[in-house]
């Protein structure tokens, strides 16, 4: 059975104080809820992705806790004249084990393309650093209304598959985020989300059934404590990539509790 992953994308929010508050608060809530504070072992995984300036602090605070730390972006190059960018080696030194790639805000606001995202993905899976790529994919409202959801998602996947092949997804994570549901308060229904997740898994299964079956596919798009359990209960949804709710201890902990409940029921 695939292990749930609840990941928080803090985006360009945060401070030293908030980083400490969120990590200590979330760890306290989830461990108390799971009643396993001494063993510090959960039935699912937690990932937080702070802004780059707070990665070192977050890694230090999370070192003895069941919380993993990831980055929000990386440059595909190992080093060079790329002002303002960060490399995999830098992220590794800061204690990052994951990195988000291709978030819709990176695509729309900063002009990242399927090709550039695929290059970043390839640098993760082909490099020497143990950093898991979390590939974000999803359609706009216009694409959904035009019935193009599967075509858009397939094209985003194909761009990466063309570079790394299905083997590149062996240790990766995918996050399906319908753009129309990010930060809008709108959420794909569990059935809508499951339909796309199933499409993603089936597409990859046609290339390698074992890799596809083990691959964790997260849902992102206005996930809250009130809808997390119903979303995560879908057969092909393996957790969530959480935006706004990850900046509130009680909200993020509530989503974590949904994952813990379902994981321990299985």
Averaged over 213-241, what is the pLDDT?
96
Look up the pTM and report it: 0.95
HSE (side-chain half, CA atoms, 13 Å) at 266:
17
Annotated catalytic residue, options 98, 103, 105, 197: 103
Which has the higher per-residue pLDDT, 127 or 182?
127
The CATH H-level superfamily of 5-265 is: Aldolase class I (3.20.20.70)
DSSP 8-state symbol, 79: S
Annotated catalytic residue, options 105, 112, 139, 177: 177
% of the chain at pLDDT higher than 90: 86
Distance of CA 98 to the CA centre of its chain: 8
The per-residue pLDDT for 222 is 86
Structure tokens belonging to residue 266 = 């299985």
DSSP 8-state symbol, 94: T
**Among the listed ranges 84-93, 149-158, 205-214, 256-265, which one has the minimum average pLDDT value?**
256-265
The per-residue pLDDT for 30 is 84
- Considering the chain, what is the average pLDDT of its residues? 94
Query: Residues 97-110: pLDDT tens digits?
Result: 999 999 999 999 99
% of the chain at pLDDT higher than 70: 95
The per-residue pLDDT for 31 is 79
The per-residue pLDDT for 194 is 97
103 is catalytic: yes
* Confidence category of residue 37, pLDDT binned at 50, 70, 90: very low
Structure tokens belonging to residue 264 = 């321990």
13 is catalytic: no
Q: Is 150 exposed, middle or buried (0-12, 13-18, 19+ CB in 10 A)?
A: middle
- Check pLDDT > 60 for residue 39: no
The per-residue pLDDT for 219 is 96
Residue closest to 103 by CA, chosen among 179, 155, 198, 181: 179
- Check pLDDT > 70 for residue 40: no
The per-residue pLDDT for 1 is 78
Q: Is 185 exposed, middle or buried (0-12, 13-18, 19+ CB in 10 A)?
A: exposed
The per-residue pLDDT for 32 is 77
- Check pLDDT > 50 for residue 34: yes
* Confidence category of residue 180, pLDDT binned at 50, 70, 90: confident
- Check pLDDT > 50 for residue 84: yes
* Confidence category of residue 35, pLDDT binned at 50, 70, 90: low
The per-residue pLDDT for 265 is 86
- Check pLDDT > 70 for residue 65: yes
Averaged over 20-42, what is the pLDDT?
77
């Amino acid at each position: 059975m695939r292990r749930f992953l609840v990941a928080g994308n803090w985006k360009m929010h945060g401070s030293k104080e908030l980083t400490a508050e969120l990590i200590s608060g979330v760890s306290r809530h989830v461990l108390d809820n799971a009643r396993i504070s001494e063993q510090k072992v959960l039935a699912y995984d937690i990932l937080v992705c702070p802004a780059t300036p707070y990665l070192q602090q977050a890694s230090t605070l999370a070192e003895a806790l069941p919380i993993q730390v990831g980055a929000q972006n990386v440059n595909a190059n190992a080093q060079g004249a790329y002002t303002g960018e960060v490399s995999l080696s830098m992220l590794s030194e800061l204690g990052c084990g994951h990195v988000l790639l291709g978030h819709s805000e990176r695509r729309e606001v900063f002009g990242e393309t399927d090709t550039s995202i695929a290059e970043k993905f390839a640098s993760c899976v082909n490099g020497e650093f143990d950093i898991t790529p979390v590939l974000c994919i999803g359609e706009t409202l216009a694409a959904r209304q035009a019935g193009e959801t599967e075509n858009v998602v397939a094209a985003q996947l194909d761009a990466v598959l063309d570079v790394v092949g299905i083997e590149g997804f062996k240790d990766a994570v995918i996050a399906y985020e319908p753009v129309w549901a990010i930060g809008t308060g709108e959420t794909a229904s569990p059935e809508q989300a499951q339909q796309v997740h199933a499409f993603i898994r089936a597409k990859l299964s046609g290339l390698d059934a074992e890799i596809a079956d083990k691959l964790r596919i997260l849902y992102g798009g206005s996930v809250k404590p009130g809808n997390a359990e119903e979303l995560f209960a879908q057969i092909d949804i393996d957790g969530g990539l959480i935006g706004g709710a990850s900046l509130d201890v009680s909200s993020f902990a509530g989503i974590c509790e949904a994952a813990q409940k379902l994981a321990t029921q299985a």
